[in-house]
């Protein structure tokens, strides 16, 4: 399987047009393409910079000529879960007609959309990308080629990967930045290429503050890693 991460700008997509006009972003959590009716049904999370931006974004989205239906499932402050039905876009039709398939959620912000698309062979991929270029603006940001064994291993260990991912997501912005800078500067190498004093000078905080941020980030990541290892152990026994 060939898996592509594509930065896409479609010229007939209601979500992209809306994020062009309003400071709102969309993340698709469920989708279903009805090829017979040439429509895409989706469940998305819409998030505005504030409540006003969310309301304006939903208004603009409903009024888009390619939007057939848009309704709110739940809403709180500047975040809403919505359901939509849109006309099939050129890009969706191109992927479908060239034996491609969606492998991950759509993410739309600032007039661009992140697509995760799969193909079974190079010929289908080349054909689809050539056709996409005629009516869309896109850039392939990442390309992975998975064999059957690798793909099976990824699917089988998805829960373990999520445990590790959740550990990383639990870091605060300060903890993450401190951990990343310390790693890049060689704090975890032997011998160490940087010290707590160096890091304290870099962040303009006390040595104690740097040490505490590192310990908290290490503890959270280690907790996620141990949870992932436990998941792997359960699968092997």
What pLDDT does residue 237 have? 55
For 141-147, the CB contacts below 8 A with 24+ separation are: 141/5, 141/6, 141/7, 142/4, 142/5, 143/2, 143/3, 143/4, 143/5, 144/2, 144/3, 145/1, 145/2, 145/3, 146/1, 146/2, 146/3
What pLDDT does residue 156 have? 63
Q: Which domains are present in the chain?
A: 2-145 (no CATH), 157-236 (1.10.10.10)
What pLDDT does residue 130 have? 94
What pLDDT does residue 223 have? 85
Structural tokens at position 46: 């819409």
Q: Exposure of 204 by Cβ count < 10 A (0-12 exposed, 13-18 middle, 19+ buried)?
A: exposed
What pLDDT does residue 215 have? 93
Structural tokens at position 231: 């998941």
Tell me the whole-structure pTM to 2 decimals. 0.61
Give the single-character DSSP code of 105.
Answer: -
Q: Are 41 and 31 in contact (CB under 8 A)?
A: yes
Alpha helices in the chain (DSSP H): 14-21, 51-62, 90-97, 122-135, 148-156, 158-169, 173-184, 196-203, 207-236
At 192, give phi and psi (nearest 5°). -65, 135
Element (H, E) at 138: strand 136-145
- In terms of phi and psi (left: phi > 0; alpha: psi -120 to 50; beta: otherwise), the region of 186 is left
Give the Cα separation of 34 and 42 in Å (integer).
11
Give the Cα separation of 227 and 53 in Å (integer).
39
Place of tokens 């930045």: 177
Taking only the tens of pLDDT, the chain with its 237 residues reads: 788 999 999 999 999 999 999 999 999 878 787 767 778 888 999 999 999 999 999 999 999 999 999 999 999 999 999 999 998 899 989 998 999 988 877 899 999 999 988 898 899 999 999 999 999 999 999 888 765 555 555 556 666 667 777 878 888 999 999 999 999 999 999 999 999 999 999 999 999 999 999 999 999 888 888 877 776 666 555
What pLDDT does residue 158 have? 60
Give the single-character DSSP code of 185.
Answer: T
């Amino acid at each position: 399987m060939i898996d592509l991460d594509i930065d896409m700008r479609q010229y007939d997509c209601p979500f992209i047009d809306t994020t062009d006009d309003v400071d709102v972003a969309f993340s698709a959590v469920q989708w279903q393409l009805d090829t017979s009716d040439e429509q895409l049904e989706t469940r998305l999370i819409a998030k505005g910079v504030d409540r006003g931006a969310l309301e304006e974004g939903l208004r603009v989205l409903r009024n888009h000529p390619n939007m057939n239906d848009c309704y709110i499932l739940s809403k709180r402050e500047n975040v809403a879960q919505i359901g939509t039905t849109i006309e099939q876009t050129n890009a969706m039709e191109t992927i479908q007609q060239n034996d491609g398939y969606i492998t991950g959620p759509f993410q739309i912000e600032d007039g661009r959309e992140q697509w995760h698309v799969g193909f079974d062979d190079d010929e289908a991929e080349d054909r689809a990308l050539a056709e996409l270029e005629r009516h869309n603006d896109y850039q392939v940001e990442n390309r992975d080629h998975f064999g059957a064994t690798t793909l099976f291993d990824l699917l089988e260990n998805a829960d373990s990967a999520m445990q590790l991912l959740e550990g990383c997501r639990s870091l605060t912005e300060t903890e993450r930045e401190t951990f990343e800078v310390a790693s890049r500067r060689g704090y975890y190498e032997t011998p160490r290429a940087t010290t707590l004093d160096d890091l304290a000078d870099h962040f303009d905080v006390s040595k104690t503050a740097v040490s505490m941020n590192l310990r908290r980030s290490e503890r959270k990541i280690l907790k996620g890693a141990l949870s992932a290892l436990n998941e792997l152990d359960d699968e092997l026994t």
